[in-house]
Structure 1
Amino acid sequence: MSLEQFNNLYSELSCESGMGESMANSKVNEQDEEFFQRIEDDTKKALDREQTLERRKAREPFIQEAITIAQFENTLEERNKEIKSLKEEIVKLKEELQNVKTRNKKLCNILALGEMKDKAEALFEVDKLRRVKDELSTEVSSLHAQLEQERSKVRALTSDSKSKAQHKKRMASETTP
């Protein structure tokens, strides 16, 4: 209730109670000082409450805004921490990837060297076997030539021995008569 309403209420009551005004005036005068003082204090308290409420309502959007800003800042800080940790993880994973690539490259080189070594050994073995084959072919040719010579000698000796045997038979048949 505002002060004006209270004053209006008091004036309405005064008009209605016009008869008993003289009796009431004596009692009211004694209580009036305390009563009005209490009324004044109560109205001040009510006005203070209303003003406080209005100020609170006026500040409420700013308070809400401040709370929202604080919440956003907190969320932003958490996300920044998360981003930082993810960046650190990315760096670690890149280093690990680089290590894996390096090891893979070394392994490929080792395998290539092993294959080259195997190829070199195989080529060396093939070359060695070719030389042995050539030597054996040469030896076979030489032995074949010697065989032919021996066959020729055997034929010659066989024909020579046949001719000597025939000659002996002729001689023996000529001498026997």
Structure 2
Amino acid sequence: MSKHKKKNSILEWAKALIIAIGLALVIRIFLFEPYLVEGSSMDPTLKDGERLFVNKTINYIGEFQRGDIVIIDGEEEDIHYVKRLIGFPGDTIEVKEDKLYVNDKVVKESYLKVNKDNAEELGVYLTGNFGPIDVPEGQYFVMGDNRLNSMDSRNGLGFIDEERVVGKSEFVFFPFGDVRQTN
């Protein structure tokens, strides 16, 4: 092989590598990103140690829906929270006798059935009574599915600024035996 062909071959490989790295960065920054579930606040919907793919495009195209599972940037670097989106700006949120009311209408939360059954066996409500609370403009109200063991908008996180929401959880990709959609 001549020096000229060898030099061209190295340049082609370098270009391909730079393009691949650039595409990977664009995809991770703007489109999809993996996240690790840490803790039990979303049990049994999501379990500690599961890995999710998060759709970040929803911040640019599309809209969040009530009930979406979202990833939230924490106040501190490298801290993220996985919670369910309950209230939008301008909503009034209230829980009475384990029923969620948004703007005075009952919201069915079928994803809570297992946890509600467990709380009932303990003789307690899954979600303690609170509210009514008005969600300020530019903010969201979030809760974990394991409401007896979740730090969320009720008790520590407070309202979540819209820009802190990274994206919507789309599916669990690890462990491989439990791959599934999350919403």
Q: Select the structure of larger CA radius of gyration.
A: 1
Which structure shows the higher strand fraction?
2
- Tell me which of the two structures has the higher relative contact order, counting C-alpha pairs closer than 8 angstroms and 6 or more residues apart: 2
- Which one has the bigger helix percentage? 1
Which TM-score applies when normalising by structure 2?
Answer: 0.24
